[in-house]
Amino acid sequence: MELKPIIPFEPVKTDQIPEGKQWISQVKWDGVRILTYNDGNRVRLFNRKLKERTSHYPELLNIQSYCHAKSVILDGEVIALGADGKPSFHEVMRRDGIRRMERVGQVRKQVSIVYMIFDVVFCDGQWINEFKLADRIEILSDIMIPGENIQLVPSFSDGNTLFEAVKKQGLEGIVLKDLNSKYAINGKDHRWQKKKNYRDLIAVVGGVTLRQGIVNSLLLGLYDDEGHFCYIGHAGTGKLTASDWRELTEKIQPLVVSERPFINKPQRINEAIWLRPVITIKIQYMEWTEGRSIRQPSIQAFVDVSPEECIFETL
């Protein structure tokens, strides 16, 4: 039997923490969403866009070592810790972003990953997505054997306390889930809600500035409802290393254009070099200002998202 990859359940954004006994909260781990499919013969990994990731994470392929079930679909987040011991999106992208597969063996030695598993959708030949979350969690804890690369995401009863702890530890946020909820394949609704500690978005690079011939900041944009490319701010700090900046400087050469791609005028316009909006990047930021720009943006990592998908999101 072949298990066809599914689009996972997504939480909606919230600012409030819902009240009531049916709500549990879990840490929102900052990594890449990966579902594991074991049809009994073969283990395959897919991300939420249904792109295959099987050869990216060889650590997860020996499924008998961490899961009793004969066949299973597991849902979780693959994370990698940074030097500060906190999940780092930049680090996990060093694995997830590999396109020349012969490099996996070598990068694996430098970046180890942990699979934070929080749900099970299929188990021992049966779809259990219609089961209540409480039952799925019970099944999950029965079939899983946590280890070095495999952890179960614990559930907590008090969302407020967990959120305070998450803030203290500098983690991404929490996800609140209704214990009575079914697993909505390709769904996104209020039965799963996320409350973020820090905010992030994926923006398109529409220009750069240089210092001594090397890129030192990115001019970022998003598309609005009418398809206009709008400038939202510039970012020069974050996770990029000196050699990342140098590589970027070469990568942008074929993208240079003479006309400004943004509909509105950015600051720093005099020194800017305009680019065809192609490169996409994950940015962490504090908040939006009234003029539709972001405060204190910090670069996380380049991502493989098509520019058209980078739009203003309504909360």
- CB of 121 or CB of 150, closer to another protein: 150
144 binds another protein (CB under 8 A): yes
Q: Does 105 bind another protein (CB under 8 A)?
A: yes
151 makes contact with another protein (CB under 8 A): yes
Among 102, 225, 287, 290, binds another protein (CB under 8 A): 102
139 contacts another protein (rule: CB under 8 A): no
The DSSP annotation for the chain comes to -PPPP-PPPEEEE-SSPPPSTTEEEEEE--SEEEEEEE-SS-EEEEETT--B-GGG-GGGS-GGGTB--SSEEEEEEEE-B-TTSSB-HHHHHHHHT--SGGGHHHHHHH---EEEEEEEEEETTEE-TTS-HHHHHHHHHHHB---SSEEEPP-BS-HHHHHHHHHHHT--EEEEEETT----TT-EEEEEEEEESSEEEEEEEEEEEEETTEEEEEEEEEE-TTS-EEEEEEE--BS--HHHHHHHHHHTGGGEESS--SSS--TTTTT-EEE-S--EEEEEES-B-TTS-BSS-EEEEEE---GGG-BPPP-
Among 48, 61, 132, 156, binds another protein (CB under 8 A): 156
| Nearest approach, Cβ of residue 288 and another protein (Å) | 28
**258 binds another protein, rule: CB under 8 A:** yes
Instruction: Identify which of residues 275 and 294 has a Cβ nearer to another protein in the complex.
Output: 275
- We find the least distance from the C-beta atom of residue 141 to another protein, in angstroms, to be 4
Q: Which of 6, 24, 78, 232 binds another protein (CB under 8 A)?
A: 24
The dihedral sign for the CA sequence 303, 81, 159, 9: positive
Please name every residue paired with 25 in a beta bridge, in sequence order, or none if there are none.
Answer: 156, 176
Nearer to another protein, 150 or 232 (CB): 150
Binding residues for another protein, rule CB under 8 A, total 47
Ordered strands of the 23-28 beta sheet: 10-13, 188-196, 173-178, 23-28
310 binds another protein, rule: CB under 8 A: no
Residue 24 or residue 294: which is nearer to another protein going by CB? 24
> Is residue 271 a contact residue for another protein (CB under 8 A)?
no
114 lies in the binding site for another protein (CB under 8 A): yes
* 106 is an interface residue for another protein by CB under 8 A: yes
> Measured from the CB atom, is 4 or 168 closer to another protein?
168
- Determine, following the binding rule CB under 8 A, whether residue 61 of this chain makes contact with another protein: no
| Residues within the interface to another protein (CB under 8 A) | 24, 27, 79, 81-87, 100, 102, 105-106, 109-110, 114, 116, 137-138, 141, 144-146, 151-152, 154-158, 161-162, 164-166, 168-169, 171, 243, 246, 253, 256, 258, 273, 304, 306
